[in-house]
Amino acid sequence: MSPIDEEQIQGLKGLRDFLKKRTSYDVLPLSFRLIVLDNDLLIKKSLNILIQNGIVSAPLWDSQNSRFAGLLTSTDYINVIQYYCQFPNELDNVEKFRLSNLREIEKAIGVHTIETVSVHPSRPLFEACSRMLKSRARRIPLVDIDDETGRETVVSVITQYRILKFIAVNTEQHTSLLKKTIQEIRLGTYKNLATCKMTDSVLDVINLMVVHNISAVPVIDKNNTVLNVFEAVDVIPCIKGGAYDELKSTVGEALTKRPEDFQGIYTCTEGDRLESIFQTIRQSRVHRLVVVDDDHKLRGMLSLSDILKYVLFHGEEGDYFPPS
């Protein structure tokens, strides 16, 4: 085994030990706000609340039964759009749907129901990551039981992004050992890439995301040069106020509706080391990296789940996931 291989294994071991010693509580900032939406809220109103508060997801609360009712994410809005496309005469009803109707919508179009997986905040972070990867969720609610009432309480929600940031900020001694390039460790997706053009309709891109089960589609020109990335969250401003007709507009138009504080897109090359990817995560708000060549032509996509999966499980055998 080469010294680089040895260092890589040592780095991964350090990261795994770290994730087993820390809990989800450790990832939470000292003070934070949590916006929880009542399950009885109109879907249309929920959109405005997300937009006004600059957030893209929220836990749902079933106030009749005092229970956590799942996590609302951009995927749910995409499902509502799919429903509207399959049943265009139902627009009046779509307007009246409440968040508690999301399950019916999801059943009607035959997709997975709203994410209900959760984890206790004092369980090891490694477990929270495993559960997220297993359920393909990008975020997981932290649900505790109130000592006095015995009822569930939603403490917060942690995302793959927060966890990778936490790793990047706190474990430089381990991440600096990850000297292999992403090409050497075959990190990311390079075949059957879903792509779109600026002139494609938003609806077409939404369909691509649903069919491939992905959260972002690179926007390229006719020479395969990367111009931008259309993300699942970019759908939210498009349907603000129930304006489903705007989905027929182009990707180019939709991208102009991004919030002012949009952080931009991040790229890397196949020759980049994982160490430097962690440096980018440490310094910026990265939700995925587009892999490009020296001429900025598309080569692949590197998602946060690809990185997290590698950190947790590369080289491990057997069943990775603890029983729920």
Interface ranges with ligand ADP (CB under 6 A): 138, 160, 188-189, 193-194, 212, 214-218, 288, 301, 303-306
**Residue nearest ligand ADP by beta-carbon distance:** 303
- Nearer of residues 42 and 208 to ligand ADP, judged by Cβ: 208
| Cβ-based neighbour number of residue 51 at 10 Å | 15
- Nearer of residues 16 and 138 to ligand ADP, judged by Cβ: 138
Gap between the Cα atoms of 202 and 188, Å rounded:
25
Q: Output the smallest distance, CB 149 to ligand ADP, in A.
A: 35
Q: Output the smallest distance, CB 215 to ligand ADP, in A.
A: 4
Q: Output the smallest distance, CB 41 to ligand ADP, in A.
A: 26
Burial class (CB in 10 A: 0-12, 13-18, 19+), 252: middle
Best CA proximity match to 287, nearest among 312, 310, 263, 270: 263
Gap between the Cα atoms of 194 and 192, Å rounded:
6
- Nearer of residues 70 and 218 to ligand ADP, judged by Cβ: 218
Q: Output the smallest distance, CB 54 to ligand ADP, in A.
A: 19
- Nearer of residues 270 and 306 to ligand ADP, judged by Cβ: 306
Query: Which tokens is 268 given?
Result: 């890397």
Gap between the Cα atoms of 243 and 51, Å rounded:
14
Q: Output the smallest distance, CB 145 to ligand ADP, in A.
A: 29
- Nearer of residues 51 and 194 to ligand ADP, judged by Cβ: 194
Distances (CA, A) of 266 to 181, 226, 277, 287: 17, 11, 10, 8
